[in-house]
A and B are shown apart, each in its own frame.
Chain A
Amino acid sequence: MIRPFGINEFWFIVMAVQWTLALSAVAFAGGALGGLAVALARVSPIAPLRYAALGFIRLFQGTPLLMQLFLVFFGLNIFGSGINPWLAAAIALTLHASAFLGEIWRGCIEAVPRGQTEAAWALGLRYYDRMKSIVLPQAAKIAVAPTVGFLVQLIKGTSLASIIGFVELTRAGQIINNATFDPFTVFGLVAVLYFILCWPLSILARRMETRFAVATRR
């Protein structure tokens, strides 16, 4: 019954990387849109918007990602969407990323000197132009490094989707381990694959942080 760990098992796990990447990409893209909305709401002059965004952030920062996955997974089931691990994982991770990126980017927006906004006001620029042309481009420069850092966390976070049955890298490892009973080899490979995905990003983040630090010194 027990299979040896062979080339087919190896490729099964390696091919599952694409689902980890797909889930990460969807969550990151959705999280970027959601995060921008949350960040803008957090710095909005409209108080109810600020509090709503704050509540959203606190909720997702204060609960484990696994619980968020469970709640969306079982919640979708209650609302009649059936059992759909891919949809549930995509929604939960998008919400999760929206909250975290929203909070990261709020900090970056607030790091843009107040004088920039005042100069924009004084020139009569309206909210849209102020944000699009003045504040956000400067915040984006500050945001690159922490955003890449969060992306690393997000890629690793997708491994939790294995628990609701989405076959990504970790779940593929579990499946092969159940057949081969060779956990050290299997999860060793899984870990190496995560490392290959995340390490270059970590280096990139550190390099950009250094470059930004040099650019802002003076």
Chain B
Amino acid sequence: MSVTNATDRAADAGMPAVRMEGVDKWYSTFHALKNIDLEVARGEKIVVCGPSGSGKSTLIRCVNQLEEVQKGRIFVEGIELTAGPKNVEQIRRDVGMVFQQFNLFPHMTVLENCTLAPMRVRGVSKAEAEETARKFLTRVRIPEQADKYPAQLSGGQQQRVAIARALCMNPKIMLFDEPTSALDPEMVKEVLDTMIDLATEGMTMMVVTHEMGFARKVADRVIFMDQGEIVEVAEPEEFFSNPKQERTRTFLGQISHA
């Protein structure tokens, strides 16, 4: 057992968490992603930014196939996502996602939101699922809300539940699709702090966000997208102080006025 694990780990060491090869996506005639090549290493934190309609959400939604691509190949943890529905199912179990609109299940309590998938997908017992759920609810600092319904919580609390719900599946990669964009300003920090905790613990993260403070603090690389293309990829220090591309400079100029 331990031998296999060791060999696996050795073989896995160089394998990226996510690899995209020549990915193209169209929405009917609109070319949403253009020839995307990208590798995300294990444990790496990527921030994706860009103007609205640039394809940044589409990019991360391709990683668990909420969006299907028409061309190219995507590998997640070495498994080819684009090879068929069986692989998609397997990959979705290992990729957690947090949405802009939280998307909690409104007819279930916080605890039920967190235990459903581990019980139904992983076959974990109810007791074990609840124990795990309470552990993660404590980590996102809302253990006392377990028996409430989503509508009884603030936006920031709901988003932290959404993070806990994803973590309960013990994912290898976490995707965040503008996780703070729907929040009142005073609640942004509590969600970002939770994400920073997660980053510190070594989670592989792909985050679409306009929170440039978060990007500076947490990101290993920042990706700037425009019109479906990856325009620039750089470490945050370099990205913010010395952007190479004209389009990046224009974008950074625009958001610094906001």
- Which of A's residues lie within 8 Å of B, judged by CB? 113, 115-116, 118-119, 121-126, 129, 133-134, 137-138, 141, 218
Contacts and interface: CB of A to CB of B under 8 A. Distances in A.
Contact of A122 (B64, B101, B106, B120): B64
Contacts, number: 58
Interface of B is mostly: mixed
B133 to A, nearest CB: 13
A125 B99 contact: no
Contacts of B175: 122
Given A124-B89, A126-B89, 10 more contacts: A119-B105, A121-B66, A122-B66, A122-B92, A122-B96, A123-B169, A124-B92, A125-B120, A129-B116, A134-B105
Given A115-B101, A118-B66, A118-B99, A123 B107 contact: no
27 contacts: A115-B99, A115-B101, A116-B103, A118-B99, A119-B99, A119-B103, A119-B104, A119-B105, A121-B64, A121-B92, A122-B64, A122-B66, A122-B96, A122-B175, A123-B116, A123-B117, A123-B165, A124-B92, A124-B121, A125-B117, A126-B120, A126-B121, A129-B116, A129-B120, A134-B105, A138-B106, A218-B151
B93 interface: yes
Contacts of A137: 107
Given A119-B105, A124-B89, A133 B99 contact: no
Interface string B114-145: 00110011000000000000000000000000
B97 interface: yes
A121 B89 CA distance: 9
Interface of A is mostly: helix
A139 to B, nearest CB: 11
A50 B104 CA distance: 28
A145 B70 CA distance: 42
A129 B104 CA distance: 16
Contacts of A113: 103
B225 interface: no
Contacts of A134: 105
A113 B107 CA distance: 13
Contact of B105 (A116, A141, A218): A116
A12 B20 CA distance: 76
Nearest to B118: A123
A21 B32 CA distance: 56
